[in-house]
Amino acid sequence: MEKVEKIERLDRKLVHEGAVISIYEDTVQIPNGNVAKWDFIGHKGAAAVVPVCDDGKILMVHQYRNALDRETVEVPAGGRDSIDEPYLACAYRELEEETGYRAEEEDFEFLISLKTTVAFCNEQIEVYVAKNLKKTHQNLDEDEYINVKAYELDELLDMIYSGKMQDGKTVSAILAYKLKYAK
Amino acid sequence: MEKVEKIERLDRKLVHEGAVISIYEDTVQIPNGNVAKWDFIGHKGAAAVVPVCDDGKILMVHQYRNALDRETVEVPAGGRDSIDEPYLACAYRELEEETGYRAEEEDFEFLISLKTTVAFCNEQIEVYVAKNLKKTHQNLDEDEYINVKAYELDELLDMIYSGKMQDGKTVSAILAYKLKYAK
């Protein structure tokens, strides 16, 4: 096999169409000449929000996560309806659907951009901070069961460093918010 | 369909065995009585390291990521050999393999624990800080091509907030290090 200068993808084959992800088997050529099969998970992307109440508390969602077999504490977040949906529109929608609080688009500020697990997946999550929250009502998907609770920022930081709150987007979002806004 | 009090998994079926992940289709019963198919990705877990040089700079790895079709800047990290490998042993091994620097086990300190993408995957990454680094040599897997570069912490923070460095474990690790050690 001729050597290539860098890793080159020779083929991408769909092996399973999941509910929210697409699973592919990639064939890649390595610079040493080897040809290998690598995993690739395609994802439509998502948005997450750090919703900051007027008193500085942060709204978090509690939900059961099948992949972990337990409940998690997370910032509100959700997948884009399609790869064409603007991330901000997704954030705006998911905040109100999951928490029952709404913010105007001008009260959303971009915080950070994440790729959740780059070794095998292209999932991107754009994280925003939202302020000037107004109470409306939750509008959950029919398979969503979510409880909302407001936390002090310091309490969330304790949960991160004690290992009680582990969700990657949430850890990144809360730490990034702390460093940028609450030094 | 009888209603259940909480989400209950009725079945878990392997649909594809990948190179580093296993893809399952779960059948779950929702409290509203619906039965749904959900994605589940099984992963062996991984460890990541924030390697801090004596001058305070941080060693980062540059590598091509097939899932993103581009090069990334990440903290050194790698998967466990098996679900029985202690995370610290994995961190110890991956640091030296990827960077060519070694630290004694007592110079590793636990930083945070992450679940990279809880909506569909159980991947856990334990993140450590390593100090008192000693130069040895890289020992890459045959399909790994990695360049190592030392960065100032402030430069890495700029890369996070400007969206130039997006890898989830890396963003969490660098922000958590900054807040804990370099306030």
pLDDT tens-digit profile, chain B (183 residues): 344 567 899 999 999 999 999 999 999 998 888 899 999 999 999 999 999 999 999 999 999 999 999 999 999 999 999 999 999 999 999 999 999 999 999 999 999 999 999 999 999 999 999 999 999 988 887 777 889 999 999 999 999 999 999 999 999 999 999 999 986
pTM: 0.95
Chain A residues with CB under 8 Å of B114 CB are 166-168, 171
Helix (H) or strand (E) holding B13: strand B8-17
Q: At what angle do helices B153-161 and B168-181 cross, to 10 degrees?
A: 130
Tell me whether B147 touches chain A (CB under 8 Å): no
Interface contact A144, partner B, CB < 8 A? no
Closest chain A residue to B35 measured between Cα atoms? A143
Distance (Å, whole) CA B21 – CA B38: 16
pLDDT tens profile A88-112: 999 999 999 999 999 999 999 999 9
Nearest chain A CA: its distance from B43 CA (Å): 11
The DSSP bridge partners found for residue A58 are A52, A151
Contact between A119 and B7 using a beta-carbon 8 Å cutoff: no
Contacts of B78 in chain A (CB under 8 A): none
- Amino acid in position A113: S
Q: How far is A144 from chain B (nearest CA, A)?
A: 9
ipTM for the whole complex: 0.95
A142 is catalytic: yes
Smallest Cβ–Cβ distance between A166 and the set B20, B21, B114 belongs to B114
CB-based contact (8 Å) between B41 and chain A? yes
CA separation for the pair A17, B169 (Å, rounded): 26
Write b or e for each residue in B157-171: b if 16 or more Cβ atoms lie within 10 A of its Cβ, otherwise e: bebbbeeebbbbbbb
Give the residue-averaged pLDDT of A30-46.
Answer: 93
- Alpha-carbon gap: B40 to the closest alpha carbon of chain A (Å): 6
State which amino acid sits at residue B73. Answer: V
